[in-house]
Amino acid sequence: MTSGTTDFEALLREALAPVDPPADLAQRLELTLVNLTELAQDELESWELSAMRDPRNWVRPAAAALIGTTAGTALVVLRVRARHRARRAGSGSLRELAAGTLQDIAEETRRVLPDR
Amino acid sequence: MGDSDGSKTKVELDARFTELYRAHLRDVYSYAYYRVGNHHDAEDLTEQTFLQAYRHFERALRESNGRPLRPWLIRIAHNLAANFYRDRSRKPESAIEDAGVISSVHTTESLVEGREELQQILAGVAQLPDDRREALIMRFALDMDNREIARALGRTDGATKVLLHRAIRQLEGIVATPEETQG
């Protein structure tokens, strides 16, 4: 009886053998993940650079740097995350999504940091 | 102090995610494949699972308290698969609809081909209710233990043990009456 069950389970294990993913899936996925991290970094850097070219923006990044990981930044992150989540549902491409998210960061930073 | 700690954490996070990805790509793909029944959708589901996992990895790590993250990954795939069926108005029952197709892409291709009993089992698995089918996929295709399956399905260890037991018994019943599986 027990051996019958054991035999059946052995058959089940054979029938449900693990399936190797296609090689191109692994490559594509790794590329996507690398692009995701690089894209986010590149976009952020270029946004920072363009913002820094305008002297009127110098106060805010300086204040942001001072604030560091305090509540203001946390608030920006939370708000941006919430909008990112909402946007993700309707977004066509990753780049579109990243661009939108970066815009949110800029807007929220402006709102949270003291206006001077 | 925050800056260097922060960037180091980001590098570490990416490295750990890479480890997780490499260790479990096959698991996620196997789960997706047996869940949706074809390569095309399984690839999509696998890709979406890892993208979703990447977004929430930091929190998952924090909340896992050192426990393995495989159940968390499979749970993401499980939720995405449920959405997949809902969005496209597809019936999960159509998964693994053709045991012949599945057997032809196994890593153990030659093993399943020409072995009617294995094909009957696959056809029987397709007839099981979702939760039972999933539990069997996790146990036999992914070699997950009861605790891992329980975490992936959001059940208690006890309930998972019962679920697996009933799934096997029901499948045995289906396979014992092959005319039903083929009709």
Average pLDDT over residues B101-130: 70
Does B172 contact A26 at a Cβ distance shorter than 8 Å? no
| B174 touches A: beta carbon within 8 Å | no
Query: Quick one: which H or E segment has residue A7?
Result: helix A2-15
Residue-wise pLDDT tens digits, A37-62: 666 566 555 655 555 555 555 444 44
The pLDDT of residue B141 is above 60: yes
| A68 touches B: beta carbon within 8 Å | yes
CA separation for the pair B23, A26 (Å, rounded) = 12
pTM of the predicted structure, to 2 decimals: 0.65
Residue-wise pLDDT tens digits, A91-114: 555 555 555 655 665 565 555 444
CA separation for the pair B33, B45 (Å, rounded) = 9
Residue-wise pLDDT tens digits, B68-92: 999 999 999 999 998 877 766 655 4
Provide the number of CB pairs (under 8 Å) joining chain A to chain B.
94
DSSP B37-101: -SHHHHHHHHHHHHHHHHHHHHHHHHHHTT--SHHHHHHHHHHHHHHHHHHTT--GGGTT--HHH
Indicate the domain borders of chain A.
23-112
Preferred mutation among B87, B140, B166 to probe A, highest tally of A CBs within 10 A = B140
Q: Write out chain A residues lying below 8 Å of B172, CB-based.
A: 5, 8
In chain A, what is the straight-line distance between the N-terminal and C-terminal CA atoms, in Å? 81
How close A58 gets to chain B, by Cα (Å)?
Answer: 20
| B82 touches A: beta carbon within 8 Å | no
Q: Is the ipTM of this complex over 0.85?
A: no
**Residues in CB range of B154: below 8 A, 6 or more apart:** B75
